[in-house]
Structure 1
Amino acid sequence: MTTRDCPCGLPGAYGECCGRFHRGTAAAPTAEALMRARYSAFVRGDAAYLLRTWHPRTRPARLELDPGMRWTGLEVLESADGSAFHSTGTVTFRASYRGGALHERSRFERSGGAWVYVDGDVTDR
């Protein structure tokens, strides 16, 4: 992966992929697109985007990211609902980092017409 590649794992440059969501020039059209953009925000240390895309009822007051964390890859395992025709959706993924991996089933809802992260269940798989 080059420095221009998007961290989310989809082909293409960051600026045309998740970067447009982070800049606010576009909104993630699906729950999976939002999950990928949020992963990219973790990789890039963009706490403001993470907070902006967190559901108001579950969003923390602050988010402090570990500057030493090195995310190394994302694998989407399953995506259910979460399209333009749904009000909720789930995405199951594995996010690898130096020294391990996080496996989560995340829940998303539409809030004010935009997809937002609600919460997730972390598993050992």
Structure 2
Amino acid sequence: MQCPCNPTIEYKNCCKKAHQNINLAITAENLMRSRYSAFVLGDIDYLQKSHHNSTRPNKREKKEILQWAKSVQWIKLEVLNTYKGTSMDTIGNVEFKAFFMENGKVEIIHENSLFYKDTECWTYVKGVLHS
């Protein structure tokens, strides 16, 4: 199976590693890509685990996210820009576009995401959507 975040790489050699051990997402971009793949695959537990505890969705929101993620057809991910977010940083930003089909129409999430790294791993904090 090809990886949802990058169809030129096999899933087992890409996001599957982070999905099995979040500590293997060594950069903010790695974590963002693994979160996109988790949306595509409907892996809501990974989405929760990779979400910073200060902004993590509650149980009701978790169900709504899973329902929505499974209701759309994911097309592709484009990473546009990264700022910091290396293995040596504790903060990082990743700007991306996620393309999906919903109700017969192509939609795009264009977001600049904020990530924090604590002593263990990177986590998603929040995103600012571009219109």
Give the TM-score taking structure 2 as reference length.
Answer: 0.87
Contact kept, 8 Å, 2:29 with 2:85, in 1: the verdict is: yes
Q: In the alignment, what sits opposite 1:47? A: 44
Q: 1:91 to 1:51 in 2, by over 3 A?
A: same
- Please point out which of 87, 94, 102 is paired with 2:109: 102
* 1:12 counterpart SS class: strand
Q: CA deviation at 1:79?
A: 0.4
State how 1:57-72 maps to structure 2 within 5 Å: 57-62=54-59, 63-64=62-63, 65=66, 66=68, 67-72=70-75
User: Aligned with 1:29: secondary structure?
Assistant: coil
| Poorly superposed stretches of 4+, deviation over 6 Å | none
Q: As a proportion of its length, which structure holds more strand?
A: 2
- Over residues 28-54 of structure 1, what are the superposed CA-to-partner deviations in whole Å (9 max), with x where a residue is unaligned? 010000000000000000000000000
Structure 2 distance, partners of 1:103, 1:5, is 23
Amino acid at match of 2:128: D
* Offset of residue 69 of structure 1: 1.2
Which segments of 5 or more consecutive residues in structure 1 lack a partner in the other structure?
A: none
1:107 CA displacement: 0.1
The structure 2 residue matched to 1:22, chosen from 19, 24, 35, is 19
Q: CA RMSD in A?
A: 1.3
Partner of 1:116: 123
Aligned to 1:86, the other structure's residue is in SS state coil
Please, which runs of 5 or more residues in structure 2 have no aligned partner? none
Q: Which has the higher helix share?
A: 2
State, as a whole percentage, how many aligned pairs show the same letter: 39
| One-letter amino acid of the counterpart of residue 50, structure 1 | L
In structure 2, C-alpha distance between the alignment counterparts of 1:44 and 1:115, rounded to whole Å: 20
Q: CA shift at 1:111, angstroms?
A: 2.4
1:68 and 1:43 map into 2 onto residues whose CA distance is 10
Task: Output one character per residue of 1:87-123: Cα deviation in whole Å (capped at 9) or x when no partner.
Answer: 1000000000012110000000012320000000011
Q: Given that residues 8 and 40 in structure 1 are in contact (C-alpha distance below 8 angstroms), is that contact kept between their aligned partners in structure 2?
A: yes
How many residues get paired? 121
Structure 2 CA distance for partners of 1:83 and 1:10, relative to 1, 3 Å? farther
Query: What residue number does 1:92 align with?
Result: 95
Cα distance in 2 for residues equivalent to 1:111 and 1:51: 16
